[in-house]
Amino acid sequence: MYQLTPQGLELFTRIMHGSAPEESLALNDRAFLEPLPGTGPFEARDYGSARELAAAVCKSLRERSPHELADRTGLWAWLTFVLRDCLFAKSGGIRKVGEMHRWYPSPPGDYQKAQRHLVRMPTLLYASLAEDADHLLLGKPSVHGELREQLTAQQDMLNRNFQKVARQLYYVDATDSFKRGAAGSGGGSARRLGTIRKQLDVTWDMTDMSAGQILKLLPPEFDAYR
């Protein structure tokens, strides 16, 4: 695996803004990128889901922790660039990349923006939660997704037991899919779970509670998802 140098990052940014051609970032030019020690090869291909992509990144990182590397802007930008056909497929010859936070990794401390990166965030979720992140990593890598937006909007939501609750409420193992209404805004939806969590957190220390204990605290509007 590689990371972009400062020159590479500057060129990457211009490419993504459409002011430089993609071929100008030569992936064999050491002025633009450098190897990342301790990592293995990475295959840039059309991954079927964010979970599949995240698993591939973790495998290529070998013994390196994604969390240890979260502030390596050059790494995540390099991955975004080599995965551009998977993340930002061309339509009519045009590549629509969307808001900058999707492709240029914001500082990890800027959580509202950092959690929207299409490669780093899924990788961190997969590395931290494994199968307990299934509900957050469904769908194409190019789509941030409503459940991920609602259930990772605050850093303390990354508690494993809270995500176990969300997985139990909204994910169907047999079909690898969401339950109907999970991504909406109605009663018991993921949006409501985020709201209720903040209310409960005023009284309860949810970081020390099991998934079962958290489930018992949820109001009747969640019964349809239990």
**pLDDT per residue rounded down to tens, the chain (226 residues):** 999 999 999 999 999 999 999 999 999 999 999 999 999 999 999 999 999 999 999 999 999 999 999 999 999 999 999 999 999 999 998 999 999 999 999 999 887 888 999 999 999 999 999 999 999 999 999 998 889 988 998 888 889 999 999 999 999 999 999 999 998 889 999 999 999 998 998 898 888 899 999 999 999 999 999 8
Residues with Cβ within 8 Å of residue 206, at least 6 apart in sequence: 159, 161, 162, 197, 200, 214
Per-residue model confidence (pLDDT) at position 226 = 86
Q: Are 122 and 54 in contact (CB under 8 A)?
A: yes
From the number of C-beta atoms within 10 Å of its C-beta (0-12, 13-18, 19+), residue 32 rates as buried
Query: What local confidence, expressed as pLDDT, does residue 153 receive?
Result: 83
Among residues 196, 62, 44, 69, which one has the least CA distance to residue 124? 69
Q: What is the pLDDT of residue 164?
A: 96
Distance CA 139, CA 168 (A): 18
- Looking at residue 184, its pLDDT comes to 86
